[in-house]
Homo-oligomer: A and B are copies of this chain.
């Protein structure tokens, strides 16, 4: 038995830590981590997976928070997992944040164009259908955000949170003005995520006509708010122009200007630039160009323009 103890002590001392640059030092004493932060890190690593749904289903995580994910190619990144809403397992993959409602396709409009309103760039920055990434999860109410999950995760449904700008992560859920998700599994018909959906339905000026070339939509189930509060989220004078209770992708206005996502609504008229976000790089009416297009129709109405649009997959 002494042999064992001796050898085990050796294992203990030599294999599980480092001394100086290369000689190992223990990281655990009496069954607990000497550094609790390292324990938390290892706990997160143990559940590393390709989506928050896998983390929930395979590894049993139940707490909302920042987790470590990987793409199939082996790129590692961190993002926020919503582990509670409607069964949990939702991965934050993007946020659309308007940094300057008066800037028309100016710096920071990564979900439309940072090149100014420009007819020679009908898809603008192209972020809806490429692998460029930007921002961080914790910063996603203060800046545009897109991670590798946006194009790498294979998902069925989408969830959207409208969170007041600059809100801190631990307040997102409680401060969200609107939260809703799809249960239709509509993504499986469109390649399994928005990257593939937008490859098929390009967000490109002139690629289609208002209403007749509208992309996919799905009814939503509300987690915060309802159809009425969705209606009241947009400016009074455009509330007749959409139907609440849906999420709609890739729509055009009467000028053939392209938008990416109508959050909480389905357009029934041809002015979706007052309630849809993201877009191509050109609009015949210049004031419609930008991450939040012309959501500021009524300058005195402080509704949708004050919140970031957080997009989750499951």
Contact = CB atoms under 8 A, between A and B. Distances in A.
Nearest to A136: B133
Nearest to A64: B73
A17 B48 CA distance: 13
Interface string A103-137: 10011100000110010110001100111110111
Contact of A141 (B31, B106, B121, B131): B131
Given A66-B74, A75-B136, A142 B126 contact: yes
**For the complex formed by this chain, how many copies does it contain in all?**
3
A151 B35 CA distance: 23
Interface in A26-81: 27-28, 31-33, 35-50, 58-59, 65-67, 70-71, 73-76, 78
Contact of A49 (B37, B45, B102): B37
B166 A129 contact: yes
A108 B114 contact: yes
A148 interface: yes
Interface string A131-160: 111011111011100001001000000000
Given A40-B70, A138-B75, A31 B24 contact: yes
Interface of A: 1, 3-5, 7-8, 10-12, 14-18, 20-25, 27-28, 31-33, 35-50, 58-59, 65-67, 70-71, 73-76, 78, 99-100, 102-103, 106-108, 114-115, 118, 120-121, 125-126, 129-133, 135-139, 141-143, 148, 151, 166, 168-170
